Chains A and B, each alone.
Chain A
Amino acid sequence: MCLAVPLKVIQINGKDAVGESLGIRRDIRIDFIKDVNLGDYVIVHAGFAIEKIEEEAALENLRLIKEVADALE
């Protein structure tokens, strides 16, 4: 099941890591992500982080939506 909410990486031990969201912790694997650091946010699918999400990209994403909304005025 694809999760919409990214998990925050709070522990790293090799390719094993712990992700957290709203106090819920989950063991995850980070085999598919380069350079994961503590505090990074990742999207997790079936126990594996499949992508890192940068705050900047999320803000850009919100701008994209806002731009279309603004054009409606």
Chain B
Amino acid sequence: MLWNEFKKPKDIEKILSALTKYDKEIRIMEICGTHTVSIAKSGIKGILPKNIKLISGPGCPVCVTPTERIDDILFLSKNKDVLIATYGDMIRVTGSIDGTSLEKRKAEGFDIRVVYSPLDAVKIAQCCKDKEVVFIGIGFETTAPSTAIAIERAINEGVNNFSVFSLHKMVEPVLRKLINMNDFNIDGFLCPGNVAVIIGEEGFRFLEIEFKIPSVICGFEAGDIIYSIYRLIQMRENKDFKLENEYIRAVKQKGNEIARNIMNKYFEPCDDIWRGIGWIENSGLKLKDEYIQYDAVKKFNLDLNPYKNNDFCSCGEVIKGKIDPRECKLFSTVCTIENPKGPCMVSSEGACAAAYKYSD
């Protein structure tokens, strides 16, 4: 099938062979959990010479959610009137107290449900009228429009026992934050294909215009990634620092306007905290004031935990690309896939989980 050709496009060996001959050090960061998994699973890291360094950035939504917000959700989950509906990746993430998680809460008898789509959470609210259903809205610009659709459904169908705890975040602010750090040392970005589907090529144009960092919007198959790495190296060698779109089969210049419009109808930017990074101005998405009754934080009058940044694991450093997962002292000793401690090991898209599962 046509789509499978991207796993191993014709003549990709030529590009791969050119890559293996490249002998200068280059540091390339991917900012998407699916890229992290695809790179690990396909064995690309093992094939490339060690001087081409592939580093995972803040692209896994569960991983970038700080412990303080996990604690807030765990606090809310103890409310007997509340039913928490969440994507599966969130339920094993631990709070600041070792061993606490939504999975544990579920075992303790609190009502925690795993859903595949935010609309499933609205359906649960329609069935369980005696419960306040709180959907944990998590993800970047790719996922936030879906949460907006769920809110719209709740409004249209008069579902008043549904609200959203928004952990939604945006990619541009965190990239700006990373780039402006004193020790920033990334030579090129593999930009997240599915975020770009929504925000378009234009959403990443600032990397070229303001920062002159080689960047390629990249698809998820091995062929897409190998090609994109090669282009990043070519751009650097030719001192042609620009943004390219490799994922042209899916990403349009202006992205998906319908999805962006619905997201912007219900959400607006707000300052938000990121694991290991802290507050980033206008990096999160909160519900607009007119939809306050669907905002779980307001509905339950939650007093959110202040940012403390005293995590017991090094996920914060892994997310920023400052250390490799194997450099965390808990990696594969205390923290494993079977018994994960930090979110980068919990999430199937996390850098630690990828490094552990597909050891290279």
Contacts and interface: CB of A to CB of B under 8 A. Distances in A.
A14 B147 CA distance: 19
A69 B15 contact: yes
Given A4-B34, A70-B11, A62 B142 contact: no
Interface residues on A, range: 35 or more
B32 A2 contact: yes
Contact of A29 (B119, B219, B256): B119
B38 interface: yes
B117 A46 contact: yes
B231 interface: yes
A17 B61 CA distance: 27
A26 B249 CA distance: 22
B220 interface: yes
Contact of A48 (B2, B11, B117, B251): B117
A50 B231 contact: no
Interface stretch (B48-56, B192-200, B281-289, B327-335): B192-200
A29 B12 CA distance: 35
A40 interface: no
Contacts of B251: 51
A16 to B, nearest CB: 9
Given A29-B117, A65-B223, A55 B2 contact: yes
Given A45-B194, A72-B14, A64 B258 contact: no
Interface of A: 1-6, 29, 31-34, 41, 43, 45-48, 50-51, 53-55, 57-62, 64-66, 68-70, 72-73
